[in-house]
Structures are given as C-alpha cells and as structure tokens.
Amino acid sequence: MGARAKAIFPLALVIGVLSYLWTEFSLNFTFHWVTVAGTDVPGAVGVPQNFHFILPTAFISWGLFFAAGGDNAAFGKIFLASVFGTVAALVTIPLSYKTAAFPDFWGIALWVGVFAFVLVMILVAGDWYYVAGTFPAFAAVFLWWVATGMDGWAPLGADAANGTSSGLGAFGGLISTPWAWVWFDTLVTLIIGVILGVASGRLSALLTPKAKES
C-alpha cells in the first residue's frame, strides 16, 4: 500500500463504518422504532412520526464540514450555516403559500429569491458567515418539504394533528410531514451530519500512523 493510500485509508474506513451506522439507525428510527402506533406491521414499514431523521440530509452537512476545512472552525461555520439556512427556509415556506396558493409556483419562487438575496447579503457581517454552507442547508429544507408533500401549499398535505393522512409525499404519501416539522427534522439532521464529520475526523486521526521521527 502506497503512502497516499495509507494516509487515506483510516479516514475512508471510519467514514464507511459511520455511514453504515447512521444509515441503519436513521432508517430504523424513522420507519420501525418511532412510528405512529398501529402502522408498523410485519413485512412492511410504519408511518413516521412528525419527528424523524432524514438519511441523506446528514451527508450534506457532513461533506460541508470537510469542505470548510474539517477542523473546529469548520464545525462552527457549518453549525451556524445550518441554523441560518434552515431558519430562512422556515420563514420562506409560509410566506410562499400565503402569497400564492396551489398550483401557482410564483409565490415560492418570489420568496426563495428574496431570502437567497438576504442570505448572501449577510456576508457583510464577516468571515464567520459561511454562505457556501448556508445555501445547501436552505435547499435541504425545501428538498424535504417537496418530498413530503409540500404541506401548507399543496392540497391533501400532512395532518398536523397526527401525521397519518396520505398526502403527496414519498412512499405514496407515507411521509407526509407538517412544514414546521420539515424544518425541525432537517435542522436536527444537519447538526448530526456536522457531528459525524467531527467524529470521522478525530477517529481517523487516532488510526492514522504517526510519522517516524528522523
């Protein structure tokens, strides 16, 4: 094994193991362990509760952590980017559907444009603000909002009382989630992704052979 492969192998191994553990945990939590009572039957999956983990979303902030440098400063940048981006989406969604209801998309387009402008303008606050991380976090909320039926804008959306109604979301409406929970689930999962980034960096450092002193 070459020197380059030896340096990369510990990180690849740790990321592979953590990816397996996160995938196994998040999917079982969402579709088996914490589901609406009476919906998880043998040979099938249950209806997720309003709070659930979003498997792919963690990989977004996990990758952003390394893109931002993979150090303690990167953790702070991506954590704040996740908060700023998701909160902007949280405000955007209700403004969108109150401006133009289904089936008009222009209300969504208008407010996405407004908050995209705002998110970029925050750069004037200083280098601590990482807009390259804020945009993916902003988009992650919209990704899950669309995937779960666009509650609030689309008809037959999620039932905020119990989350069991069949909306327009994935799995034939199985994942129909109230829009406020879409935001919260996305934020929590993004933060988990940053934590996975920190864990993968530190664990791989422990496994990386130390350079021999000359």
Cβ-contact 162, 110 below 8 angstroms:
no
Distance from C-alpha of 186 to C-alpha of 93, rounded to nearest angstrom: 14
| pLDDT at 106 (0 to 100) | 97
pLDDT per residue as tens digits for the range 50-88 = 999 999 999 999 999 999 999 999 999 999 999 999 999
Distance from C-alpha of 34 to C-alpha of 50, rounded to nearest angstrom: 10
DSSP characters for 43-66? TS-PPBPSS---HHHHHHHHHHHH
Q: Which amino acid is at 130?
A: Y
Helix (H) or strand (E) holding 118: helix 106-121
| pLDDT at 11 (0 to 100) | 94
* Strand partners of residue 35: 48
pLDDT per residue as tens digits for the range 163-186 = 445 456 666 677 889 999 999 999
Distance from C-alpha of 122 to C-alpha of 146, rounded to nearest angstrom: 26
Domain boundaries, the chain: 56-198
Give this prediction's pTM: 0.91
Q: Count Cβ neighbours within 10 Å for each residue of 146-180 and write b for 16 or more, e otherwise.
A: bbbbbbbbbeebbeeeebebebbbeeebbbbbbbe
At what angle are helices 179-207 and 72-99 packed, to 10 degrees? 160
Can you read off the two tokens belonging to residue 214? 């000359």
Among the residue ranges 43-47, 71-75, 114-118, the one predicted with the least confidence is 43-47
pLDDT per residue as tens digits for the range 91-106 = 999 999 999 999 999 9
